[in-house]
């Protein structure tokens, strides 16, 4: 099992473009549909648990899956294997950026990949909704969460509200929660300082890469003046166009600030809280189902999670399906995924190669 986990998450870490929603969709295809390690219901419970703790949700889902399949060794192996390929790629790009002052052009490749990502996410939403949204209350919770996503409410608040409404409907009780407040302070650049900053960010950031951008702007540009706004935007761009976790943006920034040591410090700092939090919460997930109130809360969170992914799908579709060609690629990819159970990683790889070869 350990070797299977390592190979799977090394592959996903190398080929999983498109951000957390695409990563989650590809993980579902691999562990639910192809390998049948988990049922859709078990996968949803792990996804809900990952969404309720700070840090990169897709990485934490990988860690949860590793723990469920092979205990503590699986937890460490799955997380490291998912993060490592992207971290190494981003480190190489950071060296190129620092040496030549610009980034290799990746837009052509991403033009081919983005429509495929839309199809992969749509496949996942279709499968997960069939498992989670089987009752009218869950459908209503998901619909409400989708509307709140469109209104730009914070994802954590949406999930907590979804869980609370589910508890209220089933048990007549409401839950409450708090949202961490983030603050920054000036300081000189050091490897230990870089580790501390990214450890704090990894322990506090909920939500998407755009939320991460706001935290980094506040901490590194406005607060400590370690980066310029242009450098920060370039770092986020690298995190977006490389496969694996978007949080490897931290690797790029660490390299700019203190070379390879800074890259290691930033990477370990931002991902370490996820490992610790999953290690602490992972054993509790099966027990949650034994409590009627906690189980109802998790059901609501799962419905809200599907709605969040659904809204991401809408955003991706608007940005990616801009002409008949891209729409056609998405439709063909969806048919291959649903009808022929085609490997999502191979679709991503093929689309990226075609995009890179096609003239602009």
pLDDT higher at 312 or 265:
265
Confidence check: pLDDT of 82 > 90: yes
The tokens for 341 are: 């159970």
What local confidence, expressed as pLDDT, does residue 209 receive?
53
pLDDT in tens, 84-94: 998 998 898 88
Task: Give the highest mean pLDDT range of 19-33, 170-184, 335-349.
Answer: 19-33
Cβ-count burial 318-347 (b if 16+ within 10 Å, e if not): eebbeeeebeebbeebbebbeeeebbbbeb
Q: Is residue 106 part of a domain?
A: yes
Task: Give the highest mean pLDDT range of 260-264, 319-323, 336-340.
Answer: 260-264
pLDDT in tens, 247-274: 888 999 999 898 999 999 999 999 998 8
- List Cα–Cα distances, 197 to 83, 87, 176, 203, 247, in angstroms: 19, 18, 28, 10, 14
Confidence check: pLDDT of 205 > 90: no
pLDDT higher at 323 or 77:
77
For residue 234, what are the contacts with CB-CB under 8 A and spacing of at least 6? Answer: 97, 103, 252
What local confidence, expressed as pLDDT, does residue 297 receive?
80
Q: Is residue 322 part of a domain?
A: yes
Q: Which domain holds residue 45?
A: 2-152+280-357
Q: What is the mean pLDDT of the chain?
A: 79
Q: Which residue has the tokens 């950071």?
A: 94
Q: Which residue has the tokens 């939090």?
A: 277
What local confidence, expressed as pLDDT, does residue 181 receive?
33
pLDDT in tens, 122-158: 877 777 787 778 788 888 888 888 888 888 787 668 8
Question: Of all residues in the chain, what percent carry a pLDDT higher than 70?
Answer: 82
pLDDT in tens, 279-293: 887 777 777 777 778
CA atoms of 326 and 329, how far apart (whole Å):
5
Of 284, 343, 311, 344, whose CA–CA distance to 46 is shortest?
Answer: 284
Confidence check: pLDDT of 177 > 50: no
Split at pLDDT 50, 70, 90, the class of 50 is confident
Task: Give the highest mean pLDDT range of 139-143, 188-192, 312-316.
Answer: 139-143
Contact 294, 9 (CB under 8 A): no
What local confidence, expressed as pLDDT, does residue 182 receive?
37
Q: Is residue 332 part of a domain?
A: yes
For residues 165-189, give the mean pLDDT.
Answer: 54
Q: Is residue 252 part of a domain?
A: no
Q: Is residue 215 part of a domain?
A: no
Split at pLDDT 50, 70, 90, the class of 175 is very low
Q: Is residue 118 part of a domain?
A: yes
Q: Is residue 79 part of a domain?
A: yes
Overall domain count for the chain: 1
Q: Is residue 223 part of a domain?
A: no
What local confidence, expressed as pLDDT, does residue 174 receive?
40
Confidence check: pLDDT of 65 > 90: yes
């Amino acid at each position: 099992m350990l070797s299977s986990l390592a190979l799977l998450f090394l592959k996903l870490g190398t080929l999983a473009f498109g951000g957390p929603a695409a990563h989650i969709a590809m993980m579902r295809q691999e562990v639910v549909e192809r390998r049948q390690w988990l049922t859709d219901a078990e996968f949803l419970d792990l996804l809900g648990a990952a969404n309720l703790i700070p840090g990169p949700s897709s990485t934490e889902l990988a860690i949860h899956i590793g723990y469920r399949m092979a205990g503590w060794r699986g937890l460490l192996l799955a997380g490291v294997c998912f993060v490592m390929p992207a971290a190494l790629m981003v480190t190489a790009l950071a060296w190129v950026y620092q040496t030549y002052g610009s980034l290799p052009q990746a837009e052509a490749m991403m033009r081919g990949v983005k429509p495929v990502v839309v199809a992969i996410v749509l496949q996942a939403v279709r499968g997960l909704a069939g498992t989670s949204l089987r009752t009218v209350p869950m459908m209503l919770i998901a619909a409400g969460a989708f509307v709140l996503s469109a209104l730009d409410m914070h994802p954590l608040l949406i999930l907590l509200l979804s869980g609370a409404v589910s508890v209220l409907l089933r048990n007549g009780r409401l839950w409450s929660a708090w949202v961490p407040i983030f603050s920054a302070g000036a300081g000189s650049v050091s490897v230990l300082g870089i580790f501390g900053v990214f450890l704090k960010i990894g322990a506090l950031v909920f939500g998407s890469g755009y939320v991460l951008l706001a935290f980094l702007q506040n901490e590194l540009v406005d607060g400590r003046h370690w980066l310029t706004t242009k450098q920060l935007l370039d770092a986020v761009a690298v995190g977006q166009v490389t496969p694996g976790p978007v949080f490897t943006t931290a690797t790029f920034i660490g390299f700019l600030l203190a070379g390879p040591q800074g890259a290691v410090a930033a990477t370990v700092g931002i991902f370490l809280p996820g490992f610790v939090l999953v290690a602490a919460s992972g054993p509790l997930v099966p027990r949650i189902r034994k409590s009627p109130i906690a189980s109802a809360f998790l059901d609501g969170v799962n419905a809200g999670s599907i709605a969040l992914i659904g809204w991401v799908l809408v955003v991706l579709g608007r940005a990616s399906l801009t002409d008949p060609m891209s729409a056609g690629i998405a439709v063909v990819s969806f048919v291959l995924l649903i009808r022929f159970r085609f490997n999502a990683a191979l679709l991503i790889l093929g689309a990226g190669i075609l995009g890179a070869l096609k003239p602009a």
